[in-house]
Amino acid sequence: MVGKRPGNWKSRPDGLPLAVGRTYYGFMLRPLAFANAIAVTTLVLALFLLALRVASPSAFTFFFNAQFFGADVRSLLPSDPPLWKVAAELVALLAGAWGIGYLWAILYNRWAK
């Protein structure tokens, strides 16, 4: 870049710009993209756990108990949940993950300035 830098220019310790062509030169999150990424990651994990429960119930129970520091919480799992309940819970989980991801990005962008 030739010439004088604008007064609001921020740069890294080595003098290179953080971003070019934007009014804010810090790290911003795009709320929609971040929310979508969180939701897709949640979907992949949920599908993996559903497949694990069907394919290997003992491995799933081990993994589930590990989330509670080894406590035996097997009795909390329904033996054979109906498909409509599983689908409804998956939709609610994804909607919540997307909403939290969107809110997270909005608040980060607001407070990072």
pLDDT in tens, 65-108: 888 888 887 778 788 888 999 899 999 999 999 999 999 999 99
Question: What does the alpha-carbon distance between residue 56 and residue 8 come to, in Å, rounded to a whole number?
Answer: 57
The domain ranges of the chain are: 31-112
Q: What is this structure's pTM?
A: 0.69
For 48-98, the three-class secondary structure string (H helix, E strand, C coil) is HHHHHHHHCHHHHHHHHHHCCCCCCCHHHCCCCCCHHHHHHHHHHHHHHHH
